[in-house]
Amino acid sequence: MKTKLTVIKIGGNVIDDAETLKHVLQEFSELNSPKILIHGGGKIASELSLKLGIQPKMIEGRRITDAETLKVVTMAYGGLVNKNIVALLQAFGCDALGLTGADANVIPAQKRANKEIDYGYVGDFETDSINIERLSFFIEGGLTPVFCALTHDKNGSLLNTNADTLAAGIATALSKKYDVKLIYCFEKPGVLLDAEDDKTLIRELGYLHYQQLKDDGIIHTGMIPKLENAFAARRHGIDVGIKHALDLNKSAGTILL
């Protein structure tokens, strides 16, 4: 029987709100099974960009990353956000290890090639390229990996990689060795028919229903990459849920079919 492993991605306003983040990390630290945390930090990166006079550019929830923006996301994701999370987890007795995909060469990637849109220093990776043996070494050594949304091209450059994609890829790669559960946590109770009304929660969501909601413009912007990646993991037999971060250890949110 495979060992259970929980992969959790946090993002959105969860990271911006100190009290919420503290509560979520305490609950995360109390999970008994081995676990991995993946975090975003897009809002902090955008705020930092504006302070530095760099206008953030987004397409369907994905950040265009030129050379200056890469510096900003490296500072925000790999520095400020990642190390604050690691320090908080240590305070809760969780022996966390802050990582980018470059550390220990765990997640090599390639600069995105797109003839229509130049995403800049944005990285895409193959699930098979994730070094699951090295990750397992950390996990089985009692460490909890905490990944920010950065990979590398093996030629000396970091690459900005969507955190939702990273979570799905890590979960899928490790499903070969572990019984993986993937949970996306943010500031909403799950997938909503009306983003402004928490009572419109969709408790179960299949891919065809998602496509219809996307075509109708009900699901848009940042929820698109989140759900595309969530369904990609689900197709590999991984249990996937999307919920409010404060409901981390509760039976709540949206379950993907």
CATH 3.40.1160.10 is right for the domain spanning 7-256: yes
Q: Which two tokens stand for residue 164?
A: 């939702």
Confidence of residue 164 (pLDDT cuts 50, 70, 90): very high
Which run of H or of E encompasses 173? helix 163-174
Residue with tokens 């993986």: 180
- Residues 111 and 122: their CA atoms lie apart, in Å, by 6
Q: Which two tokens stand for residue 26?
A: 């305490």
Classify residue 171 as exposed, middle or buried by CB count within 10 Å of its CB (0-12, 13-18, 19+).
buried
Among 48-62, 68-82, 200-214, whose mean pLDDT is lowest?
A: 48-62
Nearest to 23 by CA among 13, 36, 33, 34: 13
Q: What pLDDT digit, counting tens, does each position of 14-70 carry?
A: 998 999 999 999 999 999 999 999 998 878 888 889 999 988 888 766 788 999 999
**DSSP character string of 142-155:** T-EEEE-SEEE-SS
Domain extent listing, the chain: 7-256
Q: Is 112 one of the annotated binding-site residues?
A: no
pLDDT of residue 61: 63
Q: Is 41 one of the annotated binding-site residues?
A: yes
Among 42-46, 77-81, 99-103, 160-164, whose mean pLDDT is lowest?
A: 42-46
Radius of gyration of the chain from its Cα atoms, rounded to whole angstroms: 17
